[in-house]
Structure formats: structure tokens, C-alpha cells
Amino acid sequence: MRAWRVHSLGDPVDVMTLDEVPEPEPGPGQVKVKVLAAALNFPDILMAQGTYQEKPPLPFTPGVELCGQLPDGSRILGSPAGGPGAFAEYAVVDEAFAWPVPDGMSDAQAASLYLTYQTGYVGLHRRAALQPGEWLLVHAGAGGVGTAAIQLGKAAGARVIATAGGARKTQVCTEMGADHVIDYSSEDFVARVKEITGGHGADVVYDPVGGDVFDGSTKCIAFEGRIVVVGFTSGRIPAAKANHLLVKNYSVLGLHWGLYRLKDPARIGQVHEELCLLFAEGKIDPLIGQTLPLDQAQTALVALGDRGTVGKVVLVP
């Protein structure tokens, strides 16, 4: 089969090659699937660079979420067993973490539901305990992580403010249901959040960006507000000031969703059921910004890294 493989650490365009390799063989409790679609995520870039918290041994096939076809023709979604491996024509998944695809959902959407929406649901509900009527600030709202958080926030009854850069991306945030959208390329989001909320600030901040965005969020967080740290696409890991947390009465919550597979695996199944229900009710609808053939993985990852994409980018073998 064809599979992308990372042979040394560096930028994906430099270290990934499309190889002919044997099809993977499932072990006990595993099943082989034909990959129908594989979604791109920022950790794909970080793993190739060797800067992600999970460091698979070289060489490895990247890709952490997929929609696959079982031998009986039915479709499942999930992650490859034991780490990445979705950017290939076939993959192996753990049977315990192979989730049925909701009726009416496309292959591309199914590949995009797992990591992104699970992270959003756990982050907003389990970690931040988001309540109806609260102000939710979603950074990088036009990307895969952001569009999911906007939809999940609206489904929870929150008032959603999204940030994005440029007219195209702010329009996407509006289309996803955000009540207010701030163009951070031309506006000071801290001042605008205070203005929009009447000085109250954001009750929950969903931050996949880090860096200056995190720093700014600490200046417009509400009393007893919660900042959910999802990632650092800015490239800078910020430092939370403990004295500021104390004086302003807010919390900073870390979210490494992958750890739930180890520490609280039952929750993943519970969240999948909730997400299927939300999809059936029309409250979430994964946005696919681009669908590309498998051989264009490098180009797609470059665009993702340069923040040139909206919604999810999906590879179709």
C-alpha cells in the first residue's frame, strides 16, 4: 500500500516521503480498515518536527484521525492503534476505540469528528463546565479546532465571541454561528471583548494559539473565568502568572485530550454518543475546507502550518 512516512525530524515537506509499504496486520483486539478519509491536525506537523508531547519512533506514518471501512463494509471513525498512522491506504485501529459513523455523515466529516470535536466537548464541558448564557471566547475560530468550539459553544447555550484574521476567516466564524467576531488583524481583541460583554469579560476562553493570545486573554477574563489551554500554534508557550490568577480569581485549565484514552477511556464513548446526538439534531456540522488526494499531504500540511486553511483539511486515499 501507499503510506506517507517521516524518516527524520523536521518540516513535513522535507522529511515526509510517500512510500510503498506492506499493509499493516492487526494484533489482538485490533482491526484493519481501509482508510476512506484522514483529517489533518496541527500535531501532525509537531510530530514530524519532534516537538509534540508524543514522539513516535522513526520511521512513522503521520495522521491521528480517520474514517475507515471495515471488512463488512461498515464505517468507523477514530485514531490508528498505538499512535499516528492515518496518512495511508490502510490502517489498524483498536476495536475498543473504533466508533460507528453517524448516519448521514460524509467520510470527510467523520474523519474530522474524532479528535477535534472530542477535544472541544471535553474542554468546554468537562474542564471548563461551560454554562448556558456564559460568554465563550474562541480563538482561531475559523480553523478546525475553532469551528468545532464555536458550534459546541452555541449548542451549549453560550454567547460566543470568535477571533480570526482577515475577512474570509471572520466570515467563516459568522457562518459557524458566532454571535460576535473580532478580526485580530485590525482590532484589539482585549478591548473588543470588554466592550461586547459590557465590561464583564469572557467566562470561558478556548485557546489553541498560546503566546500573545493567551497573554491577552488574561486581560479580558471574567471573575471566576476559565482559560482552556488546547495548544500553542503561535509557537510560543506562555507562562501563567500565579499572582495574577490569585488576584483576579480565574483558572487556567490544561487539556491533553489523548490522556483520556489512558486515564478515563469510558468518557470517550460517552462523548461520542453526545456528538452523534448533536449531529443528528443539526447542532454540529464539521466544516470541511478542503479535500485532497493522499499524495498532496505535504502541500496540505504546509498550508495548515501557514494558517492558510479554514475548517478541516482532509486527505482521501
Backbone φ and ψ for 308, nearest 5 degrees, come out as -95, 15
* Cell numbers at 220, concatenated: 479580558
Helix axes 265-280, 107-121, angle to 10 degrees: 120
What domains sit in the chain, N to C, each tagged with a CATH number? Answer: 2-105+286-315 (3.90.180.10), 117-258 (3.40.50.720)
- Reference 217, options 245, 185, 198; nearest CA is 245
pLDDT below 50 — which residues of the chain? none
State the pLDDT at residue 191: 98
Give ∠ CA 257-270-106 in degrees, rounded to 5: 80
- Whole-angstrom distance, CA of residue 284 vs CA of residue 265: 23
State the pLDDT at residue 308: 80
- Reference 107, options 77, 146, 84; nearest CA is 77
Radius of gyration of the chain (CA): 19
